[in-house]
Amino acid sequence: MKPFSKLVRRPFIVLVSLLILTGCAMFREKVTDTDVGNMPELDARYGPQDLRRLSDEISTEIANCSLVTNQQAAPIMIIYGVQPRTETFVDTQALTDRIRTSLLKTGKIQFVNESRREEFMKEQGFQAQSATDETRTTIGKQLGARYMLTGALVEMRKTTGAQVRVSKTELMYYQLTIDITDLETGIVAWSTQKEFAREKREPLIGW
């Protein structure tokens, strides 16, 4: 009868040999492309799929609202951002950038580029001093916005209390509010809200 140590040693040697022969493939870094439209949710927090869904829903609502469709010419709008009222960092500018891009594609709304005003002034100053009369941009011809888009993204987080349990549950709640204000009157001309919640449950003991 073979010693117990030899019986244990042989499977171990076989396992090590297989790892060497396969080049330890299971421990190698692996990179694959992921379908942007079907990215999995890895946790309960706000993610890329939420950004895509919310921006699509908001832009569709704005493009089809009476504030836009009842006007003869495409209204001029300026975006002053969505306030992130969240515990974790959320890039809300990415949200408004996607909303603006979607709305521009419809041709129903025009946007003032508020993030590049300083560059506009520098370029106009340069042209006033250096450009020829034929190519110089006329100062004072910029169009003013009639409407301002603002909003807020609220995040609320709840977790299971400190009790004896085998798993931990995390619940994330999000509420997005978008307002369009008439800059001439100061009245909120249009508003909408979107909300969603996601729950994550994970074992406290495991691999």
Predicted confidence (pLDDT) at residue 120 exceeds the cutoff of 60: no
**Is 153 within 8 Å of 87 (Cβ atoms)?**
no
**How confident is the model at residue 203, as a pLDDT?**
72
Rounded Cα distance, 93 and 6, in Å? 63
pLDDT digits (tens, 9 = 90+) for 124-162: 666 666 667 666 666 555 678 899 999 999 999 988 765
pLDDT digits (tens, 9 = 90+) for 30-55: 777 777 777 777 778 899 999 999 99
Helix (H, G, I), strand (E, B) or coil at 175: strand
pLDDT averaged over every residue in the chain? 81
- List of domains in the chain: 45-113+143-203 (3.40.50.10610)
